[in-house]
Amino acid sequence: MAIKTVTGGVGGADFTPGWKELTIKNAKYGTYNTNKYIDIWFEDYPENLNCRAYEAINKQTKEEFRIANWFKFANAGIQEVIDNGSKKPVITYDDDPGNLIGAKINVFFYKEKGKDSDREYSRIWREPAPTVMETDQMVYTEGDCAYWMNRAERSYLNYKSVKNGSSNSTNKTSNEVPF
């Protein structure tokens, strides 16, 4: 008989639904059916749990915002912040996924049923929120973080209601997501 080893599990990882401040350990771009995405992995969590965020384009400004928010909220790759007088500064950033490694960010965990079973799996929502920080270029207060968390939760609830075929849950304004 051969001597074998097996890992005992992931120590310290919290898979419960809700917000968690995590550190990014890896990120890389990919495409699926011509749609660009970024996969992001986190310290203390297994390789099979990542966040995949597909690019999303603002219809009015034609700017990509979903992947950009990962860089903006993680204060990763920020080159310059320009005040153009519109109360919406212009942020120049280097979108190399390596810039995300080591950055802290708030992510939202939720549970989702498997396609062919009743088993629930932990997932990370595609929209992050910043952590409280003040740097030379970016400042995020507790209020800023709460604002972006609330927006992400509303987006998740909208996704969940569309997926479940419900139309009235988009009117929820609770600060907590029911599970």
Q: What pLDDT does 163 receive?
A: 80
Retrieve residue 96's tokens. Answer: 């190399």
Whole-angstrom distance, CA of residue 27 vs CA of residue 50:
9
Query: Between 86 and 11, where is the model more confident?
Result: 86
Whole-angstrom distance, CA of residue 34 vs CA of residue 49:
23
pLDDT per residue as tens digits for the range 21-58: 999 999 999 999 999 999 999 999 999 999 999 999 99
Query: Between 177 and 11, where is the model more confident?
Result: 11
Question: In this model, does residue 8 exceed pLDDT 90?
Answer: no
Please state the domain extents for the chain. 18-164
pLDDT per residue as tens digits for the range 99-129: 999 999 999 999 998 888 788 999 999 999 9
Q: What pLDDT does 74 receive?
A: 97
Report residue 6's pLDDT band, with 50, 70 and 90 as the boundaries. low
Report residue 11's pLDDT band, with 50, 70 and 90 as the boundaries. low
Arithmetic mean of pLDDT, 58-79:
94
Arithmetic mean of pLDDT, 81-110:
92
Question: In this model, does residue 177 exceed pLDDT 50?
Answer: no
Please identify which residue in the block is written with the tokens 């507790």: 142
Report residue 171's pLDDT band, with 50, 70 and 90 as the boundaries. very low
Report residue 173's pLDDT band, with 50, 70 and 90 as the boundaries. very low
How many CA atoms lie less than 13 Å away from 37 in the CB half-sphere? 15
Retrieve residue 17's tokens. Answer: 């639904």
In which region does residue 146 sit, left (phi positive, over 0), alpha (psi from -120 to 50) or beta (all else)? alpha
Please identify which residue in the block is written with the tokens 């929209």: 127
Q: What pLDDT does 2 receive?
A: 67
pLDDT per residue as tens digits for the range 127-167: 999 999 999 888 999 999 999 999 999 999 999 998 877 54
First to last CA, the chain: 47
User: In a 3-state reduction of DSSP, which class is residue 90?
Assistant: strand
Burial zone of 7 (CB within 10 Å; 0-12 exposed, 13-18 middle, 19+ buried) = exposed
Q: Kindly calculate the radius of gyration of the chain based on its CA atoms and give it in whole angstroms.
A: 18
